[in-house]
């Protein structure tokens, strides 16, 4: 069965000049150490627009682009309007790359959404991790939550990145091309050993469909979607919800915000502080620091 062409591949074939521009944009992203997933989103939306007009964005008038964006905004079914936002961001990046800053500025301004992320309760997490019938799927979901991983980080994990001697996981070239270490759960290690014995992975910790290929983000999304339905979870969640739940539960368990920032791989503490608005730590009885300094006296 022939592999279905992507919108980017079709645009490279059908729209004059798109292939060259796409290659140059990709090169710029790589050289500037920006996220590959960001470029993938931008590239896909630019391909949609180019196929719609059969022309490159700078060859399309502002009025035509405004009309296209307005239609996209109206037809978007998600509250975040992700398709609309990524198209605007992609166009803004494209126009700046082409030396057309005025056209980039003239694009719609997308206000910041001060929306708190959805998180799962600990009981919902347990139901979710128990839901899949396949061991590999149970381990994959549990692994993401246990280490606060992004989808791409889980897919890129190699066997050599799991250090059971030091009980650490090495996350390589994460967002911003930064490495970090996170603790390896003892319970996860037991699950991984069962998984290893049954699946015998070679290079990547979780193999994809093709031999030697990493697990795919699409596969992760499917596992999450089916597991959420089976677990009877009614919240609107996605794979990234497990990362949000990880940070929130660590905060509720008493871990300090600075350490959570390092574990999450955030550039600034402001990104981590959002979880202060979500976490519901148990209230502790008020005490004097003098008693923690010397130990509480018996009176």
Q: Is 208 left (phi over 0), alpha (psi -120 to 50) or beta?
A: beta
In 3D space, the residue among 269, 13, 37 whose CA is nearest the CA of residue 175 turns out to be: 37
52 annotated active-site: no
Rounded to an integer, what is the distance from CA 67 to the centroid of its chain?
30
The answer to whether 15 and 54 are in contact (CB under 8 A) is yes
What is the spatial order of strands in the sheet that 180-183 belongs to?
162-163, 168-171, 180-183
204 annotated active-site: no
| Burial of 58: CB neighbours in 10 Å, binned 0-12, 13-18, 19+ | middle
244 annotated active-site: no
Catalytic annotation, pick one of 48, 85, 175, 244: 175
CA separation for the pair 54, 47 (Å, rounded): 10
Catalytic annotation, pick one of 150, 244, 249, 261: 150
137 annotated active-site: no
CA separation for the pair 216, 294 (Å, rounded): 54
Catalytic annotation, pick one of 58, 172, 230, 240: 240
Catalytic annotation, pick one of 85, 92, 103, 243: 243
Catalytic annotation, pick one of 48, 86, 249, 266: 266
Q: Which residues are catalytic?
A: 150, 175, 240, 243, 266, 275
């Amino acid at each position: 069965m022939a592999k279905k062409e992507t919108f980017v591949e079709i645009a490279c074939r059908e729209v004059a000049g798109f292939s060259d521009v796409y290659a140059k944009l990709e090169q710029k992203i790589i050289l500037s150490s920006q996220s590959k997933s960001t470029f993938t989103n931008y590239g896909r939306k630019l391909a949609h627009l180019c196929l719609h007009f059969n022309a490159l964005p700078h060859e399309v008038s502002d009025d035509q682009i405004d009309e296209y964006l307005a239609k996209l905004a109206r037809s978007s079914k998600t509250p975040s309007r992700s398709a609309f936002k990524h198209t605007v961001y992609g166009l803004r990046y494209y126009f700046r790359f082409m030396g057309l800053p005025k056209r980039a500025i003239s694009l719609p301004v997308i206000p910041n959404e001060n929306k708190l992320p959805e998180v799962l309760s600990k009981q919902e997490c347990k139901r979710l991790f128990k839901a899949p019938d396949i061991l590999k799927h149970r381990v994959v979901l549990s692994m993401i939550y246990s280490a606060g991983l992004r989808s791409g980080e889980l897919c890129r994990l190699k066997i050599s990145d799991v250090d059971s001697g030091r009980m650490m996981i090495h996350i390589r070239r994460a967002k911003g091309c930064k490495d970090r270490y996170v603790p390896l759960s003892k319970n996860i290690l037991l699950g991984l050993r069962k998984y290893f014995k049954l699946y015998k992975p070679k290079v990547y910790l979780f193999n994809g469909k093709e031999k030697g290929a990493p697990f795919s983000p699409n596969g992760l999304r499917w596992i999450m979607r089916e597991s959420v339905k089976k677990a009877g979870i009614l919240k609107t969640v996605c794979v990234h919800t497990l990362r949000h739940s990880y940070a929130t539960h660590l905060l509720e368990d008493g871990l300090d915000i600075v350490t959570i920032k390092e574990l999450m791989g955030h550039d600034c503490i402001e990104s981590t502080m959002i979880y202060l608005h979500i976490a519901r730590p148990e209230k502790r009885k008020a005490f004097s620091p003098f008693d923690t300094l010397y130990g509480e006296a018996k009176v």
